[in-house]
Amino acid sequence: NLLPAAARCPGPGPGPGHGSGLPSSRCRSPESLLDCAAKAVAEKWAFERVEERFERIPEPVQRRIVYWSFPRNEKEICMYSSFQYGLPFRRGIRLLETGCVENVLQVGFHLSGTVTEPATSSEPEVTHKVAISFDRCKITSVTCGCGNRDIFYCTHVVALSLYRIRKPEQVKLRLPISETLFQMNRDQLQKLVQYLITAHHTEVLPTAQKLADEILSSNSEINQVHGAPDPTAGASIDDDNCWHLDEDQVREQVKQFLSQGGYYGSGKQLNSMFAKVREMLRMRDSNGARMLTLITEQFMADPRLLLWRQQGTGMTDKCRQLWDELGALWVCVVLNPHCKSEEKSSWLKQLKKWGDMDVCPLEDGNYGILLLSSPPLSELLQRGVTSTTNLEGWVGHPLDPIGCLFTTLTETCRVDDDNTMDTGGDTRPPVYHHVPVWGSSDGGESYLTLALEVALMGMGQQRIMPEGLYAQDKVCRNEEQIVAKLQDLELDDLLVQTLRKQAIQLLEAGPFSGLGEVIHRESVPMHTFAKYLFSALLPHDADLAYKVALRAMRLPVLESSAGSGDVGHPHHGISIVPSRYPRWFTLGHLESQQCELASTMLTAAKGDMLRLRTVLEAIQKNIHSSSLIFKLAQDAFKIATPADNPPDITLLNVALELGLQVMRMTLSTLNWRRREMVRWLVTCATEVGLRALVSILQSWYTLFTPTEATSIVAATVMSHNTILRLSLDYPQREELASCARTLALQCAMKDPQNCALSALTLCEKDHIAFETAYQIVIDAASTGMTYSQLFTIARYMEHRGYPLRSFKLASLAMTHLNLAYNQDTHPAINDVLWACALSHSLGKNELAAIIPLVVKSVHCATVLSDILRRCTMTAPGLAGIPGRRNSGKLMSTDKAPLRQLLDATISAYINTTHSRLTHISPRHYGEFIEFLSKARETFLLAQDGHIQFAQFIDNLKQIYKGKKKLMMLVRERFG
């Protein structure tokens, strides 16, 4: 029947005056009279607090009043105005408060009005027509002239709705239009219809004529139904009613977000839609399941599912998390105790249909390769899994039983206050109170204590690490989610009592508990859970807090492979998983959580030597990653040295001991942070004091490489800043210096190549130590050192005022050098020139000693000619003696020692010329001619140089006569 119950009235049958089916005083039934009475009461009382007078009104009339009323809860309007409380709702309030809502009229279950958007700098003022249909405190449809289509209501719909709620006395109220029409006679009805058609003839005239034709036809479909529909009369009492939701827009937006892949914005929007579904479910809004169904349909239609399936790859992490949330919401829907059995049957059928589709993602997220690598108005059982462990834990389980139970129990205890509704977009932590459990034998038991107990039982359950990267990641995320919910609970005496009782039971529970004395090697670690327990118990029972945290520090999967060294070489805190356990994909995250637990205990134990020692032992026993131990050492150091208070020496010693352990662990392994670690340890030892510095200097070989010990450790210890920092007296400075010199000599003996220069620097204030270091360099020079190292040390010697020693080292360096004819840009050239200048400044004997070494080592003509030119400018020995004048008597190139150098230079030019001519190209002819010009300058230094050069040129013209163009250029320049 098209006519709603509110306006429905059975007539006596077709015939004159009754065929329309409209109500009349002669044919109204008792039921319709009751409906009209209800409406009359509603008209009078709808905007007052009718609850106070409700008992005086007949029960059927009460029902009609409630059904006819507009929604009064602004939170519901807010919920349907956007994904989250936010802009549309706030703007709607602003429009209402600034008087932008006008012409508000309610006809039965239909509300209309105009909302004006004020002019802005870029947009003119515009007025929108808004219409809202409602039924039994729910808005069932909305239309707005702004044309903004979205899942939820626009600003203008919000403004009109709030006007109706906040200013009911200013709303013109009319009964459903069918009631008004009933009061009119035939002439009035005809006048109304004709005026209506005249006012809107372009829109309604074709429809009006069509309806008129059908009404005048006795056998038309419209005449087979009594009465006529009334859009303002609301639905029938038995009809379903729900808040308006634009299904097409839901589908379109989900499809759009999915098409954007894993981008941050799209994932955020989908999570907002999920949050909206949760909000609807919390308010028992039937649109929650309806919206979730629409979202799921689009997820199942995602084309990437088929692609991932065909390629045998898992979906992306972000997409997997969205599917997880989708599944969790369906769990909430199907477990809803308020839904009807037929609804549950329908959902079950739909879920099975989706689950049977090939593209439906598997719960563990594994396809192809991952499956092959995972062990089966059965192999797990062969690994030694016994009945003491659970293969499938409650935390990380696909159905999230712990999360669901916790949420269900706490929702019962949640304090809902409409005044705390946040319209700014920020979420506030929930407020809970104790609700006693009906029929419980324990007087102190409440739904809140049960929620806490459930969470603690689930988190503390011993369970085997599941297979697959995604399943393991889900365990970690689920733990963090539950802990976040637990942290929202404000612990009172009752909850603390529950917390203590459960913690004790977990410690003593045996194989059920992950905190029991003995656990399986592949059990999921308890670090995240224990960190929460420790922080929560510490103010109330410190001993119990430490017992729990220390018991949870273990990581059994690494214990068998750890040994005494570093199990992995961490990079950014993520360890390389030992090859024995390739399936522990989240091991890096687990180790970081273990480190966080240890850091929390160290912070709490500050100043308590006994507890610090216990925590330190637990760290040394259970943490196998050097980078994480280093992080703990840094944390302890930072806490121990506050900026505005004296340092805590007990915690400083813990930091130092951890740092020493890191040094020992990484001494023989490659670690990209090693240099930082060494510098930090010296800083920490400096804060501890003189004895700590002396200790690390004396035992350097167990902690540092020789290079680190000399270039970083000893150099930093001997720096002026360190001396000032420690305020050392003279004997203390000498003790430290003596240790540093001893270290330097030991390192120089062990690794002269890298430590000799540092050793000389450290020993230069002590004659005996310096002589010893120098002798170590001399002894190692012939075998273990390169020319560059020797040149560097030689330059240092000259700078320190030891020119003869510097000359000796430079001579040794020359014996290791070999400069080919074409290496005229070799980095050692400057060192060769410097060595020759040094020998020249010392005297003729030193110059005579270095020249044979130069001739033997250097075959580059330009370098040799440069040395020769410099040596002929001044007499040997004068350049290095201040105050002495050049006598003007320069060395002859025809006599020793320069004669040997001159011959070698001429020979080098001849050899280089032939080498260059072998593969010369025309574009290098000009450069070659310039080279010959420089060669002529050197030839002319010899007594018969012009003759030698002429013979040389003649030989070239004879040998390379085939290079006609080049030889022509040679003749033009040199004859």
Instruction: Show me where the domains of the chain are located.
Output: 33-55+58-182, 247-356, 807-874+891-974
pLDDT band at 39 (very low <50, low <70, confident <90, very high): low
pLDDT for the residue 434 = 93
Which residues on neighbouring strands pair with residue 574, listed in sequence order?
571
pLDDT tens string 290-347: 999 999 999 999 999 998 888 877 788 788 888 888 988 998 888 888 888 899 999 9
pLDDT at 583: 80
pLDDT bracket for residue 178 (50, 70, 90): confident
Report the DSSP beta bridge partners of residue 110: 107, 133
Contact 821, 858 (CB under 8 A): no
What is the residue type of 309? R
Q: pLDDT tens digits, residue range 212-245?
A: 999 999 888 898 888 888 888 777 666 777 888 8
Q: Which residues contact 574 (CB under 8 A, 6 or more apart)?
A: 588, 589, 592
Exposed, middle or buried by CB within 10 Å (0-12, 13-18, 19+), for 962?
A: exposed
Write out the two tokens for 848: 């005579």
667: Cα separation from own chain's centroid:
32
Mean pLDDT within 733-737 = 95
What Å distances lie between residue 191 and 177, 181, 197, CA to CA? 15, 12, 10
Identity of residue 824? D
| Residue-level pLDDT at 26 | 30
Cα(776)–Cα(796) distance, rounded to whole angstroms?
Answer: 16
Q: Is 345 helix (H, G, I), strand (E, B) or coil?
A: helix
Is residue 66 over pLDDT 60? no
Q: Which residue has the higher pLDDT, 623 or 44?
A: 623
Specify the range with the lowest mean pLDDT, choosing from 62-71, 161-170, 648-657. 62-71
Structure tokens at 474: 């889900």
User: Model confidence at 9, in pLDDT bands (50, 70, 90)?
Assistant: very low
Which pLDDT score is estimated for 813? 95
pLDDT, tens digit, 9 for 90 and up, residues 258-278 = 888 766 678 888 888 898 898
Bigger pLDDT: 144 vs 440: 144
- Among left, alpha and beta (phi > 0; psi -120 to 50; other), residue 137 is left
Has residue 614 got a pLDDT over 90? yes
**pLDDT 10s digits, 688-700:** 999 999 999 999 9
> Considering the chain, what is the average pLDDT of its residues?
84
Mean pLDDT of 491-517: 94
Q: Considering all CA atoms of the chain, what is the largest pairwise distance in Å, rounded to the nearest integer? A: 150
572-591 mean pLDDT: 65
Task: Name residue 127's beta-bridge partners.
Answer: 116
Confidence (pLDDT) at 400: 85
What pLDDT score was predicted for residue 179? Answer: 80
Q: Which two tokens stand for residue 965?
A: 């163009």
**Rounded-to-integer distance, Cα 861 and Cα 174, Å:** 113
Please tell me the predicted confidence (pLDDT) of residue 417. 60
Residue 113's H or E segment, with its range, is strand 110-117
pLDDT in tens, 392-433: 789 988 778 899 889 889 988 988 765 444 444 456 788 999
For residue 13, the tally of other CB atoms under 10 A from its CB is 9
pLDDT digits (tens, 9 = 90+) for 363-383: 765 433 333 344 447 444 444
